[in-house]
């Protein structure tokens, strides 16, 4: 654990942890004309710097590395502090957090943004936690779990028994690493996003898109002939209707992971927006009467988000397992909504 803390400190110290100058007259005027929309979009969006908190005089910010490639000019690497407050550096500037060139030339942005930094931190955290869990199993074997192992073992067993086994069947073991990785990755990052100054990683459509594409690829590469037979020759459908049903089934292959992507993105982002909206009411009304009420509602929504964090991880994992289970199904019982095991009597036999 000491090594983990050292790695995190080294990573954060890569960029400057700086005190910015006091607010200008223009910024003071902006405070009077508070814009909740801009504040909310700033907090849920990605950025080239990691803003932690502000005081009356200072802004505590971690400036992240900017890595830009321009054809004919090569790679540029520098701190995002050089681009803060609309500055131009090496012909580059930030426009609404998009890196652009002053001369209009093409810029490929490979920067370590706030979401990328959060992704790295969560990856290190997951490796540290489950290395400790694996070390506990290696040490105690089948004995009673202790410490961090005792906390995570019931969750792992639940995913195995209630999600993987029931949704996938006998071939569940080969998919357990992916299901556990997806579940804990989403859960950990959902929780990290609720922390003060945390990044909205799972509320980023690119992240949820990547998870959905991985699920789609695993489902397609795991599929057997029965899966494709169900798509191109749907049981119980008259042959004249197949030209209609086949495109519908093919669209369904893409729609399923698309729903995974949108569901996770929308639920996590909506939670952040609602919480920040309640907090914004304090600055809009500027009343001591409103403050306790808005803080109470904001705290309630934030506590509710703790439940949503694990619920969304469970739903994503369960639906992923169900999609994989439908692709590896060996018999035709599923066509009649049986879902039974070997020797089950077909539904139409009655």
pLDDT digits (tens, 9 = 90+) for 154-201: 999 999 999 999 999 888 999 999 999 999 999 999 999 988 888 889
Range 76-96 average pLDDT: 88
How high is the pLDDT of residue 147?
A: 82
Q: What's the start-to-end Cα distance of the chain, in Å?
A: 61
Query: pLDDT-derived band of residue 56, with 50, 70 and 90 as boundaries?
Result: low
Closest C-alpha to 264, from 315, 194, 322: 315
How high is the pLDDT of residue 161?
A: 94
CA separation for the pair 187, 309 (Å, rounded): 6
| Spans of all domains in the chain | 2-113, 116-332
Query: pLDDT-derived band of residue 139, with 50, 70 and 90 as boundaries?
Result: confident
Burial label, 283 (beta-carbon count in 10 A; 0-12, 13-18, 19+): middle
Q: Which of 72-86, 163-177, 219-233, 277-291 has the highest average model confidence (pLDDT)?
A: 163-177
CA separation for the pair 18, 15 (Å, rounded): 9
Tokens of residue 313, six digits: 């991880």
Query: pLDDT-derived band of residue 337, with 50, 70 and 90 as boundaries?
Result: very low
């Amino acid at each position: 654990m000491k090594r983990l803390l050292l790695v995190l400190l080294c990573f954060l110290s890569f960029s400057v942890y700086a005190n910015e100058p006091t607010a200008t007259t223009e910024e003071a005027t902006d405070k009077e004309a508070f814009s909740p929309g801009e504040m909310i979009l700033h907090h849920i969006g990605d950025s080239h710097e990691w803003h932690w908190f502000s005081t009356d005089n200072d802004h505590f910010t971690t400036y992240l590395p900017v890595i830009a490639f321009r054809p004919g000019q090569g790679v540029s690497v520098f701190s995002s502090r050089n681009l803060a407050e609309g500055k131009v550096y090496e012909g580059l500037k930030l426009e609404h957090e998009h890196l652009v060139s002053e001369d209009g030339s093409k810029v490929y942005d490979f920067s370590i943004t706030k979401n990328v930094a959060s992704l790295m931190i969560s990856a290190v955290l997951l490796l540290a936690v489950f290395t400790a869990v694996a070390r506990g199993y290696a040490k105690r074997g089948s004995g009673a779990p202790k410490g961090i192992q005792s906390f995570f073992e019931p969750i792992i067993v639940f995913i195995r028994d209630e999600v993987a086994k029931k949704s996938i069947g006998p071939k569940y073991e080969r998919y357990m690493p992916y299901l556990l990785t997806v579940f804990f990755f989403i859960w950990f990052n959902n929780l990290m996003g609720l922390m003060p100054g945390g990044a909205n990683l799972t509320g980023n459509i690119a992240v949820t898109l990547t998870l959905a594409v991985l699920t789609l690829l695993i489902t397609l590469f795991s599929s057997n002939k029965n899966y494709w037979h169900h798509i191109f020759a749907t049981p119980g459908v008259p042959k004249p209707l197949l030209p209609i049903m086949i495109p519908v089934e093919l669209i369904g292959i893409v729609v399923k992971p698309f729903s995974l992507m949108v569901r996770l993105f929308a639920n996590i982002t909506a939670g952040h927006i609602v919480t920040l909206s309640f907090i914004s009411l304090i600055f809009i009304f500027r009343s001591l009467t409103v403050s306790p009420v808005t803080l109470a509602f904001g705290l309630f929504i934030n506590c509710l988000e703790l439940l949503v964090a694990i619920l969304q991880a469970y739903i994503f994992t369960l639906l992923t397992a169900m999609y994989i289970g439908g692709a590896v199904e060996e018999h035709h019982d599923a066509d009649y909504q049986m879902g039974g095991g070997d020797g089950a009597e077909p539904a139409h036999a009655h």
